[in-house]
Structures are given as C-alpha cells and as structure tokens.
Homo-oligomer: A and B are copies of this chain.
Amino acid sequence: MIDPQEVPRFAGVASFMRMPHTHDLDDCDADAAFLGIPFDDATTYRPGARFGPRAVREASTLLKPYNPVTETSLQEYVLVDHGDAPVIPGYIEDTFEEIQARVAYVLAHDVVPAIAGGDHSTTLPVLRAIADEYGPVSLVQFDAHSDLWTEYFGKDHNHGTTVHTAIKEGLIEPETSIRIGDRGGLYSQEDIDLMDDSGVKYYTTEEAISKNLNDIGQRIRERVDEPVFATIDIDVVDPAYAPGTGTPMPGGFTSREILRLTRELHGVNLIGFDLVEVAPPYDNRAGTTSILAANIMFEALCAALDK
C-alpha cells in the first residue's frame, strides 16, 4: 500500500486500496485478492454494474488500513488487486464459465476472493467455483430481494434467479443460510411461498430493525455452519445511501446499519464474499454509492482475514 502521507490519496493509478496489481498469483503470497466482475447484462432494470469494479477501486483509494472498532490492521496482510474477470457482453452462459475459471484460480492459490460485481447473476459462477473447492457452503445474503425466482423471461439465468439456481445445483446449504433485508412489493403471494419453501431463513428490513442489529448478528452466527460465503447486494441499503444501483427500493438500511451488519460477520468462517449491483452511471456525482461499497468491502475484508 502506498504511503498516503507521502503520496496523496487522489494520486496514482486507482487499483484497490492502491494495492499492487497482478494477474499472476503464483509469486505474491497473497492473503486476499480483489477481483472485479464487470458484467451487467442480466439486470431487469438499470444497467451499469459493469463499471462497479472500476468505481469501487477509485473510491477505495480513500480507505485507511486500520479498523478501530475491530482493531484489525490490513497492513498485516498481503493484499493484491487481481484485475477483472473477462466477460462476453450479450452471452451470459459463456461469461459464467470465464468467471468460474477465474475464481477457481484464486481459490487454488489459497487466496480469499474479495469480489466486486457486476449484477447479482454473477454470484452463481462464483458459488460454482466455491462449491468446487469447499463443497456446499452457508450463504449470508444482505439483499432487498430474495433472488429466488425460478426463471425470468423464460430463461434460467438472471440477476433474480441466482439463489434458486445455487440451491438447485447444491452449491449452498439453505438450512444453514440466511438472508437479511427483504422489503418492497412482490409480484404475488407466490413469491412468499418461494421464500418459505427455499429453506433459507430470512428477516425483512423491518424485522431486522425491530429486533436490533446485535441480535441479528447473533442469529447469523448461530445459523451458519462453516465455511461461509457472504453476498452483499448494495440495494439492501436505502437509495438515499446507495442511489447507484440497478433496482433501487426505498425503505432500506442506512450506512450505519449495513456497516454494523457487515461487522457482525466477525466470528464466522468467512472464506470469501462479493459485493454486487453497484451501478456507477446512476450514482450521484460524489460517488457515495461506491464509497459506501468500498467501506463495506473493507469491513468484510477485516472479518475474512482477522479470525
């Protein structure tokens, strides 16, 4: 990490936290690698998440390495920026293969993947690589939507079908998985049935708030079995805090709440995570969505490395 006391944080090439950029993980002995997945073809409303990785990198140059709440210092770990997975615009299934291969490469080097999407469809190939390495995992999902649709537009793959397919393919164990943040309108009562039938435990935003977030943290830690993969859809946050996303829904968490929730992942065996659906073309000019996303990734990195 470049010394920000010598070179201002607005200077230089914007890799994640200004970490070294390398496509080759053989020699670097990394503990964790930032990986971008710039794919947004499977969104049902606003595109732009293909620029999520670039925007999160830029925002991350503001991050400092020491977490005073958890007393974690990222300077004790080797972090690299592993670039972006190649993607093929217009071809979702071919793209999935590329993504899965790249994540498998990271895992093969025993490196924690810290992934920035991309729309939420991209979590499926990530989970395929994860399950190849670890078997079925517990999923912690922070999200305004369940992503449990069985199909969309007559097709299997879409940013709304990811978790359904992951369960169907045996990539995650629903009975040790949990989702926080549901809210907003649905198509019909059947959507509730899909959620109930999935086996994934969930708390709506209103339930989570009324229970108190400490308590929710406790419930997450009790629910999951190791290993754990966390998938954070930025739309779990309210559009006031994260306007730059594909399907914004009012009534979400505040920044304090999501940072607190992410911090509650300390204590689980977090083997990787992704943060998806940051759509920079719709962000405000200050880029607050990307800045929040970078800070959430910082908290998740602390949880994944300091255990």
Please give me the residue from chain B that is nearest to A191 by CB atom.
B66
A284 cross-chain contacts in B, Cβ below 8 A: 243, 284-286
Are the CB atoms of A283 and B282 closer together than 8 Å? no
Chain A, range 214-258, C-beta contacts under 8 Å to B: 238-241, 243-245, 247-252, 254-256
Are the CB atoms of A255 and B248 closer together than 8 Å? no
Chain A, range 1-59, C-beta contacts under 8 Å to B: 4-15, 21, 36, 38, 40-48, 50-51, 53-54, 57-58
Are the CB atoms of B13 and A153 closer together than 8 Å? no
Question: Most chain-B CB neighbours within 10 Å: which of A12, A62, A65?
Answer: A12
Majority DSSP secondary structure for residues of A touching B: loop
- Say yes or no for A83: interface residue by CB 8 A criterion: yes
Contact of A248 among B153, B252, B286, B298 (CB under 8 A): B286
Are the CB atoms of B91 and A6 closer together than 8 Å? no
Please give me the residue from chain B that is nearest to A209 by CB atom.
B256
Are the CB atoms of B81 and A13 closer together than 8 Å? yes
- Shortest beta-carbon distance from A12 to chain B in Å: 5
Are the CB atoms of A75 and B188 closer together than 8 Å? yes
Q: Mark A275-291, 1 if CB is under 8 A from B, else 0.
A: 00000011111101001
Assembled-state Cα–Cα distance A156/B256 (Å): 33
Assembled-state Cα–Cα distance A250/B283 (Å): 15
Chain A, range 77-135, C-beta contacts under 8 Å to B: 81, 83-92, 94, 121
For the complex with contacts A91-B155, A250-B288, 16 further pairs of A-B residues with Cβ separation under 8 Å are A4-B44, A4-B187, A13-B15, A13-B21, A44-B89, A47-B47, A48-B48, A67-B185, A89-B158, A90-B155, A91-B153, A184-B295, A185-B298, A238-B240, A240-B255, A281-B281
